[in-house]
Amino acid sequence: MGIAISNLSVKYGAETVISGLSLDVPEGCFFTLLGPSGCGKTTLLRTIAGFAPASGGQIRFGGRDVTELPPHKRAIGMVFQDYALFPDKTVADNVAYGLRARGEKGPGVEQKVKAALERVGLGHVLSRHPAALSGGQRQRVALARALVIKPAVLLMDEPLSNLDAKLRVQIRETIIELQREANITTVFVTHDQEEALSMSDLIGVMNKGKVEQLGSPQQIYATPRTGYVADFVGAANRTEVPVRPTASGLVEVEVAGTRLVATDALEGPADKGLLVLRPEDLAISAAPVAGRQSLPATVRSRQYLGSRTSYSVECAGGLVLNAEMHGAGHDAFQPGTAIHLGFDPAAARVIRA
């Protein structure tokens, strides 16, 4: 079932952490709340779960108003960063907890627990205690425990943050598979843009207790609506520029003394804007390329990263931009070299400053 949040406010004492937030998560959607530390994503998740009370507004699961219900009456499955397993219970008893809490007994419980643990590749550790498991195994147990009760919604708070990089990618895949299999509406909290982009159907980028932009991973990355979103999701060169409309629907901008054209994403008339250029959309060449607009610059420094090279370049007036080159000879440009930065107007967007 879907989640509908309307005009939600949450306070801690006198401090309002979330104010007037409205959001719809469609049924079966993998929805990610993405944002830096302190933006309120955990608070929002805890309010959806019922652990933090709403001070105003409404939360509905599939049309049912759950705003005033305690967590155990909301039919949620929850997975935490620190696993939150019961240390004195076996793996099997941890997973059985939710089933027993709602009065299920006997061999039916054992079968469900075994099947849930087999599904996460842990059918062989039923009688172990959590202390005898690795971090990745503990998080798999926590996932099995959350899903065995067939919850209405699955809520996950930074579940991959305590795992090392390789394991994180593996468990990411397990989570996605299980989520798709159960077709369960999921809210996933993270500050990691790669997790958000790779796992989600829909991302809400949070800033100071508000969802600043809501969209698919592709929409969030390719068409950020604010400088904050452009900067938080992926790397972005952002520079304030004077803007003039053109007849073609593009805008003319002036960057470091050079007139160029870019895509108009200003959402209304403006005489200045924020030009957003992704480093991978800037191509470095020794001379201007015919038919491609370009900006003269000088290489300041470069970082060879194996599959690509990241360059810092300086344009007239001291404007510093980052460019990233892929493909053969991507590390060819030495610091101090005069170069040209080419880009397609479609990849250069001007948004509200």
Ligand X SMILES: Nc1ncnc2c1ncn2[C@@H]1O[C@H](COP(=O)(O)OP(=O)(O)OP(=O)(O)O)[C@@H](O)[C@H]1O
37 binds ligand X (CB under 6 A): yes
Question: At 78, is the secondary structure helix, strand, or coil?
Answer: strand
- Would you say 95 or 142 has its CB closer to ligand X? 142
**E strands of the chain, at which residues?**
3-12, 15-25, 30-34, 56-61, 64-65, 76-79, 153-157, 185-190, 202-207, 210-215, 237-245, 250-255, 258-264, 272-277, 283-285, 294-304, 308-315, 320-326, 338-342, 348-351
Q: How far is the CB of 174 from ligand X (least distance, A)?
A: 23
Task: Report how far apart, in Å, the C-alpha atoms of 74 and of each of 51, 252, 323, 343 are.
Answer: 11, 53, 48, 51
Question: Could you tell me which of 124, 122, 98, 93 has the C-alpha nearest to residue 110?
Answer: 93
Q: In 133-212, which ranges are continuous DSSP H helix?
A: 135-148, 165-182, 193-199
The nearer residue to ligand X, 37 or 334, going by C-beta atoms, is 37
The residue of the chain with the least Cβ separation from ligand X equals: 42
- Which residue, 41 or 145, has its beta carbon nearer to ligand X? 41
Going by the DSSP 8-state scheme, the letter that residue 4 receives in this structure is: E
* Minimal distance, residue 12 CB to ligand X, in Å: 3
- Considering only residues 190 to 249 of the shown chain, the ones binding ligand X according to CB under 6 A are 191
* Binding flag, residue 14, ligand X (CB under 6 A): no
Nearest distance from residue 191's CB to ligand X, in Å? 6
Smallest distance, Å, CB 129 to ligand X? 28
Q: What span, in angstroms and rounded, lies between the C-alpha atoms of 258 and 242?
A: 11
Q: Taking the complex as a whole, how short is the minimal distance between the CB of residue 192 and ligand X, in angstroms? A: 10
Contact between 86 and ligand X by CB under 6 A: the answer reads: no
Between 200 and 263, whose beta carbon lies closer to ligand X? Answer: 200
Binding range to ligand X, per CB under 6 A, among 31-39, 124-132, 140-148, 250-258: 31-39
Instruction: Tell me how far apart the alpha carbons of residues 349 and 266 are, in angstroms, rounded to a whole number.
Output: 9
CA dihedral (37, 40, 45, 51) positive or negative:
positive
Q: Is 187 in the site for ligand X (CB under 6 A)?
A: no
Which residue of 3, 21, 29, 35 would you call a contact of ligand X, by CB under 6 A? Answer: 35
- For ligand X (CB under 6 A), the number of binding residues is 11
CB of 300 to ligand X, least distance (A): 34
Q: What is the DSSP letter of 155?
A: E
Q: Smallest distance from the beta carbon of 152 to ligand X, in angstroms?
A: 23
Nearest approach in angstroms of CB 50 to ligand X is 15
Nearer to ligand X by Cβ, of 37 and 307: the residue is 37
CB 46 to ligand X: min, Å: 7
What does DSSP assign to residue 38? T
Q: How buried is 1 (Cβ within 10 angstroms: 0-12 exposed, 13-18 middle, 19+ buried)?
A: middle
Closer CB to ligand X, 35 or 224, in the complex: 35
Residue type at 317 in one-letter notation = G
Closest CA to 127 of 149, 105, 107, 110: 110
Q: In what order do the strands lie in the sheet with 210-215?
A: 76-79, 153-157, 185-190, 30-34, 202-207, 210-215
| Residue 12 interacting with ligand X (CB under 6 A) | yes
Whichever of 13 and 268 has its CB closer to ligand X, that residue is 13
| The one among 3, 21, 23, 39 contacting ligand X by CB under 6 A | 39
Segment 40-69, which members bind ligand X (CB under 6 A)? 40-43
Distance CA 297, CA 278 (A): 16
Binding site residues, ligand X, CB under 6 A? 12, 17, 35, 37-43, 191
